[in-house]
Amino acid sequence: MATTSTAAPINYRVPLIATAAIVLGALIIGVLFSANIGLLMIVGGLLGMVLYHAAFGFTAAWRVFITERRGRGLRAQMVMLAIAVVLFFPALGAGTLFGTPVTGFVSPIGISVLFGAFIFGIGMQLGGGCASGTLFTAGGGNARMLITLVFFIVGSVIGSAHFTWWQSLPAFQPVSLVNVAGVGGGIGISLVLFAVIAAFTVIMEKRRHGHLEQAPMVDKPGTERWLSGPWPLVAGAVALALLNFATLALAGRPWGITSAFALWGAKSFELVGGDVSQWGYWQAPGNAAALEASVWSDITTVMNVGIMLGALAASSLAGRFAPNFRIPLKSVLAAVIGGIMLGYGARLAFGCNIGAYFSGIASGSLHGWVWMVAAFGGNMVGVKLRPFFFEGEEGRKPVAKSC
């Protein structure tokens, strides 16, 4: 049966303002800092629109598989990752892309990653989203996710304060499939793993339901659908992989999100008299430089702002921008706890569902695979905890447009 839209008529004023802000911001940042950083704000805006219109999430997709054995969202993630490794591995193997030196996100595997990813997974279910989901749903007008975002930042700062101690615990050296198996071998191994995961979801879904879930039909003309959504999940997967590759070309490294949260929190803490400069995390050359520089010269910050503006434009085009500030107390508590766990876990695990999982696996890093397993375990725990906070609300079924 075709679904029909009940959204309000499109008001083009907000999308035009958001788009103008992205373009103007890109121009100003391009002039003041670099053209590539300015272009990355536009990439961020496109990411926000794709994430919103495709409702491309990680939290809801994992929750639906855990609770209902529906794997359509997980299979879309495997498509996204497959395209990404095919694009990334040759560039990373060569060390350059269109003349720009490029490096991947390849990190150690240790207790810090296991614990950080695990609590990040719990935080996904309590906070109501992952890193990308928090940004695009907050930008799209979800008032509760603003609370998650604030405490995501708080948790990131706390995680940066404890970072040195966690890194002193046992860990294996970083391992890259590109270096170990070569470009072709790494791609082959990765594609087999993606196929195995996709096949597993098919088996589990058919065992539970007897058939695979079909994508809902949308009764909209093609042009209107691409403008106001919803987009097919696979279209979102392809677009995210391509935009991550564009990020690699412009930034020299893949897409990340949460390092900016730590930076925003650290700068805010210093504004009220705190001092983070003596913390080990902020003494690393790149982090120390970011702390001293303008926040608008930070690539991740610029992209995050672009994502939120892109999601704002998308939600307005969809006629769904309607913030609701009447949030149940238990839901607020879950956002606070979940946000702190998300931020803290991301710092310990060298990233989130984007920096560690998506971009980590796209970089060939084995830590990305370890992150996925540990975070999925955390999601299983988080799903068990949700009914306490969301009884009768969200505990039984995923919310539309949630990560």
Domain ranges across the chain: 13-390
Asked if the model's pLDDT at residue 305 lies above 90, the reply is yes
pLDDT at position 330: 95
Tell me what the mean pLDDT of segment 371-391 comes to.
95
Q: Give pLDDT, residue 7.
A: 47
The yes-or-no verdict on residue 400 having pLDDT over 90 is no
Q: Which tens digits make up the pLDDT trace of 90-147? A: 999 999 999 999 999 999 999 999 999 999 999 999 999 998 999 989 988 899 999 9
- The answer on pLDDT for 399 being more than 50 is no
pLDDT for res 325:
87
Band (pLDDT 50/70/90 cuts) for residue 10 is low
Instruction: Kindly state the percentage of the chain with pLDDT values over 90.
Output: 84
pLDDT average, residue stretch 360-378: 98
pLDDT given for residue 318 in this prediction: 87
Give residue 377's pLDDT band: very low, low, confident or very high (50, 70, 90).
very high
pLDDT at 292: 95
pLDDT at 288 > cutoff 80:
yes
Q: What is the mean pLDDT of the chain?
A: 92
Q: Tens of pLDDT along 28-61?
A: 999 999 999 999 999 999 999 999 999 998 999 9
Which of residues 153 and 10 earns the better pLDDT score?
A: 153
Place 1 in a pLDDT band, splitting at 50, 70 and 90: very low
- Give the residue from 297, 322, 317 showing the smallest Cα distance to 226: 317
Query: Which amino acid, one-letter code, is at 20?
Result: A
pLDDT number for residue 167: 95
pLDDT average, residue stretch 262-291: 95
Higher pLDDT, 254 or 55: 254
pLDDT tens sequence across 200-227: 999 999 999 999 998 888 777 777 788 8
Residue pLDDT, tens place only, 67-94: 999 999 999 999 999 999 999 999 999 9
User: Out of 162-166, 297-301, 387-391, which region has the weakest mean confidence (pLDDT)?
Assistant: 387-391
Question: Taking CA 172 as the corner, what is the angle to CA 156 and CA 165, rounded to the nearest 5 degrees?
Answer: 40
Whether residue 19 contacts residue 46, with contact meaning beta carbons closer than 8 Å, is answered with: no
pLDDT above 70: residue 361 = yes
Identify the pLDDT of residue 9: 60
CA–CA distances in Å: residue 282 to residues 153, 159, 212, 233? 15, 11, 48, 38
Burial of 13 (0-12, 13-18, 19+ CB in 10 A): exposed
pTM above 0.85, yes or no: yes
Give residue 269's pLDDT. 96
Strand partners, 176: 365
More confident residue, 90 or 10: 90
Which position has the token pair 């490294």?
A: 253
Nearest to residue 157, comparing CAs of 254, 301, 332, 279? 279
Residue 242 is predicted with a pLDDT of 98
- The rounded percent of the chain whose pLDDT value lies above 70 is 95
